[in-house]
Structure 1
């Protein structure tokens, strides 16, 4: 009789996030904890780490120290893997601070090890916005002083040449910043890009205005000259701020326009003038202001069309939680459909799975920690988004929320994701994952658990993955990046992925196809 080659034999895929197969530690709540290898632990921590933020089970200093330690070892041991990771972390996982700190700490570790190669490129790759060279220097000097190694300087200089322009100077070079554009340019000795003939004048003016408040603007810098002229004239005639083309050509930000106008012009008309030149994130965060000012339905329709456009969503690099936050903040329902479509585009990597799927969403008390000090959303709400997205895209799904109890969350074909999210409890009790699995598993083809993995080790404590038959794959979507996981990962149908974006979801179909899913930047 065949021992292995029966009718149910199927190829088993492998995942990149690997752990030990026998637990060596404990979760923060006392259940058996599985340690991961350094790359896997770094990946899961980075894709959920806002840096410098207090967490439920780790204080900010402890979490950041663990992050730095993992970065230091990995950047030295495998620089090729690490360089791809940093670029992906910033450009696809959309983790701004984590990518910046990873690149800087990785470069430092390599310099100290006598390995200078790749550091310059890593540092440059971690920056995608013009305020980030200043952020990089603020982090470095705040931690290591003003002695900046050449590879770090050159990486920051490359980013400055790539990102600095007239509009970014107006938006980000403000007195509220400890490191202004001039400070960056003088410290890293950035040279103007060869294909940007105007950048020499821009760099010189950035330095001049840092040291002389009334520094004249070179004639070749048209946006800055138009901005200065509009500001001067608007002091006497604020109605000039109601001209959309004048605002656009002067690079006027919505913050500056509102400040200049004060209460001297109608707010609805001012917003309607500003909206054509506002970026995606600015539109998303101001929906409440548009409603409160009374922006017309015609203008609102144009805003909604931009919010729902898949290309605009992709370019905006917004995390899914931004759309839920905007939906909750906006007082009217005229944005709801656009935000629902935008959220769907943002989650395009969430797979459409055949068969029956059990989706378990952790709503325990530890999941109630806010994603960052500036966020009004919690890890529990991020879990709700991913759980709802999976359930709505699966051919046949049972969506369940759990803490120390559990219950089904109703999902019907055609439901709006934002409405499904409203059916969850929110964070409250303990983390009895295994009990939730036992109560709701019934011949499903797979199980997906969205969680921080900090299973309780109390009287009903059991390793959650052991409650599922070994031939049924279990995917854990980790939203916290703690050191120990609730089960093994990387083989035998047990896999862990994670993050606050949808970027790593594309690995699941590869595993289901019996293939080895590589790191997402290595595809």
Structure 2
């Protein structure tokens, strides 16, 4: 009898997140824990790290310290990897604070190490993290609060490059506000960028005057948007009717926040929103759906908003995390937003593949997954797990979706699997499915009995996907050994803790992570025997 050449043979492939092959320590719940290499640990931490935010098992200080140490270690060992990582983290993963901290700490570690820069420069690493016009000030504020007023030259140069690239009339009016400790003019004073055109030179000069609060007059030929903004503000002080003109608002680069503040209660709110909406950005539209409804904007205007929300190009350009659409859906009282938000969420999850055969999808709804990603509490880890899990199930030929935790509610209780199968409904929208999950009692709470849940529900499926924080509790059988070794098991990590619940990197055991759909596209590639690389690198 053949030992290897059997009908069910599958090509093995490798993936970039790598762990030890055997347990090295314990998870936070006491189960066998698998240490990751530095790049893998950093990657999974970064793609779920909002910075300065505590998690269920880890304080904010401890989490940030671990992040900084990993960044420093990897930046010195492999600067090319770090450069690609920082750029991808900011753009594709849309992790703004994490990428700023990663860039700053990477450069600090490299400056403290007596090595030559080589082809990858510290200036490039800094620049890779800066994508929005307020981010040069963010990075400077982080550096000065941590390391003092002395700014190293590579940091200055990287920020100067970004200032030249990002600073224009409209970005000044939108982001240079009194609420910022480091204004645009202060950035210029600290890093000394060189203007690339007469218009930008005039703009830089105006930024200094604006920061110092000096009386100024703007040459409308040099800075027409800034000049018209000042004129419209003066006119609105006497007569706010000009704020109801969409063309004037756009020409003046007027933000919706400023327009609302200038208008006060002197104009009809619905008419004001209808004038503002044509020039509002995608994220601003998403945040204000409730306000549109409360003001009573017309159905015709709402339809314009709906078209933009559902536009795949707009969704891609906005780089919104999928959970933002769920938050908007829950906040908006009107049903007129439901379908465009469903379409937008579908576009944001475009990388989730169609999978043949049967798939077992386990969604961790233990108490630790009830933790928030940020202080406002609107986005929970188990919400993200449900979005990804149900979206994947909708694209599978056949899928069983199971919510799981542990029967152990208190320390010392017997440890077993508490599970509840979520019945998929043909044709149901993803947002409706997520809300049915919430209202129907599929958030279970308790501990994390991943291995027991696998043994309970595995029934010969072609693959297994587990969406979890990986903090498996004590079990007589390891997580990986609860599924046959030739069945691919994919772990989607949503917390970035130090140790994983299973080996990863090969032998049909792979771990991904993040708050976007980016890595899901690796599943069909791995099953075809194509080894996966880091997402900013090409597939082998």
**The two structures share one fold, judged by TM-score above 0.5:** yes
Measure the CA separation in 1 of the matches of 2:215 and 2:53: 39
Give the equivalent residue in structure 1 for 2:30.
30
Q: How high is the TM-score relative to the length of structure 2?
A: 0.94
- Picking from 451, 455, 458, the partner of 2:468 is 451
- Confirm whether residue 353 of structure 1 aligns to residue 358 of structure 2: no
Give the equivalent residue in structure 2 for 1:440.
457
Q: What's the offset of the Cα at 1:430?
A: 1.3
- Confirm whether residue 482 of structure 1 aligns to residue 497 of structure 2: yes
Q: How high is the TM-score relative to the length of structure 1?
A: 0.98
Give the equivalent residue in structure 1 for 2:430.
417
- Picking from 240, 251, 254, the partner of 1:252 is 254
Measure the CA separation in 1 of the matches of 2:349 and 2:134: 27
Measure the CA separation in 1 of the matches of 2:432 and 2:479: 29
- Picking from 127, 142, 161, the partner of 1:158 is 161
Correspondence 1:48-447 to 2 at 5 A? 48-114=48-114, 115-116=116-117, 117-193=120-196, 196-219=197-220, 220-404=222-406, 405-424=418-437, 425-426=442-443, 428-447=445-464
Q: What's the offset of the Cα at 1:29?
A: 0.6
Structure 1 unaligned blocks of 5 or more:
none
Contact 2:480 2:502 in 1 (8 A): yes
Contact 1:432 1:456 in 2 (8 A): yes
Measure the CA separation in 2 of the matches of 1:2 and 1:297: 68
Contact 1:437 1:467 in 2 (8 A): yes
Contact 1:381 1:426 in 2 (8 A): no
Give the equivalent residue in structure 1 for 2:410.
none
CA RMSD of aligned residues (A): 1.1
Structure 2 unaligned blocks of 5 or more:
407-417
Give the equivalent residue in structure 1 for 2:527.
512
Task: Give per-residue Cα distances to partners, 1:151-170, cap 9 Å, x unaligned.
Answer: 11100111111111111111
Q: What's the offset of the Cα at 1:335?
A: 0.3
Aligned residues: 519
Q: Indicate the SS of the match to 1:177.
A: coil
Give the equivalent residue in structure 2 for 1:463.
478
Measure the CA separation in 1 of the matches of 2:236 and 2:314: 32
Q: What's the offset of the Cα at 1:374?
A: 3.0
Q: Indicate the SS of the match to 1:401.
A: strand
Q: What's the offset of the Cα at 1:185?
A: 0.6
Task: Give per-residue Cα distances to partners, 1:334-367, cap 9 Å, x unaligned.
Answer: 0000000000000111111111001111111001
Measure the CA separation in 2 of the matches of 1:150 and 1:514: 46
Distance 1:164 1:347, change over 3 A: same
Measure the CA separation in 2 of the matches of 1:184 and 1:462: 56
Measure the CA separation in 2 of the matches of 1:445 and 1:326: 35
Q: Indicate the SS of the match to 1:431.
A: coil
